[in-house]
A = this chain, B = another copy of it.
């Protein structure tokens, strides 16, 4: 497709598997286009172009990350790098005036993230992390229902999982289990979503206390490969509810991504909240006022399936939203939207809190 003036021109640095999904998304979003790909070797960058059916004539190919972030025709950089490299490259990109879309987990800890976000703010560029599910219309529909107290009542219990059972090679070689690359392991890679879902459901109110459960498992590198945590909101919400949440993330179980939002009067449940089973539409179950019929021999209601169609994949919607903000900055002189770095920061704070609780032998960590 031809580039237009209004389109945000993306450079990707790093050719990780997830970059293939984003390359497609960038070209699917109407307001962005893939402009450059950089890898540590030009051969890897070329192979990326080929296997993704991209146009060698239209996408610049670079054999280093520097060249991408220094290319004046690149507006925004997407970074699917190991977490330990995020802060360095995001700061370099921001200083070069590039808007920054970074994979999750955003950083190794909130101090690093603050440097990263600080560089974006002082250079007037937009920051966003790659939590795609937040951009799915199903997520919006659930939020609408969540905050309608006539539907669920006071939401007082949230449960979220993110598990996957990778190949033995993953445990040998993947960056996500290497202490010197993605030291946050399953907590950063998968728990990020669960903790983000809790914050999302609580409208980004921070909890009072986070306590890791004793079921933590680590690999020989000391990296978390499975853990759970209890998240407590002791301060009642405006609706009067104190909320408790439990999250579970693991590289040891078959794929699951459950989210249950339970209130005094109803609940929302789904089993594919991070990546929907199918792109075109997604669903969740809604149950309201579930009681037993006379004699307790069944339920008065069954969960109702709510289906939400999706014209663009959620990752393309994410890119579209990011590009919309970038265009606003470029063409209308609007300031960067602080909502997205704030969401990332709070999520990173909870990741840090769970990690700290694990390190302290499951002591509660107050926020």
Contact = CB atoms under 8 A, between A and B. Distances in A.
Interface residues of A, number: 64
A232 B215 contact: yes
Given A298-B277, A299-B275, A165 B265 contact: yes
Contact of A260 (B244, B246, B255, B258): B258
Interface stretch (A35-43, A106-114, A142-150, A206-214): A206-214
Interface string A240-257: 000010101010111110
B21 A295 contact: yes
A367 to B, nearest CB: 14
A21 B289 CA distance: 21
Nearest to A287: B254
A168 B157 CA distance: 19
Given A21-B296, A214-B211, A267 B256 contact: yes
Contacts of A252: 156-157, 264
A10 interface: no
Nearest to A242: B217
A254 B289 contact: yes
A303 B156 CA distance: 28
Interface in A151-189: 152-153, 156-157, 159, 161, 163, 165
Interface string A329-346: 000000000000000000
Nearest to A285: B271
A266 interface: yes
Interface string A207-236: 001010111000000000010101010000
A18 B153 CA distance: 27
Given A21-B296, A262-B163, A297-B313, A253 B279 contact: no
Given A253-B263, A258-B260, 16 more contacts: A21-B297, A163-B262, A211-B213, A213-B244, A214-B230, A215-B244, A215-B246, A228-B230, A246-B246, A254-B266, A254-B289, A255-B290, A256-B290, A271-B303, A275-B298, A278-B302
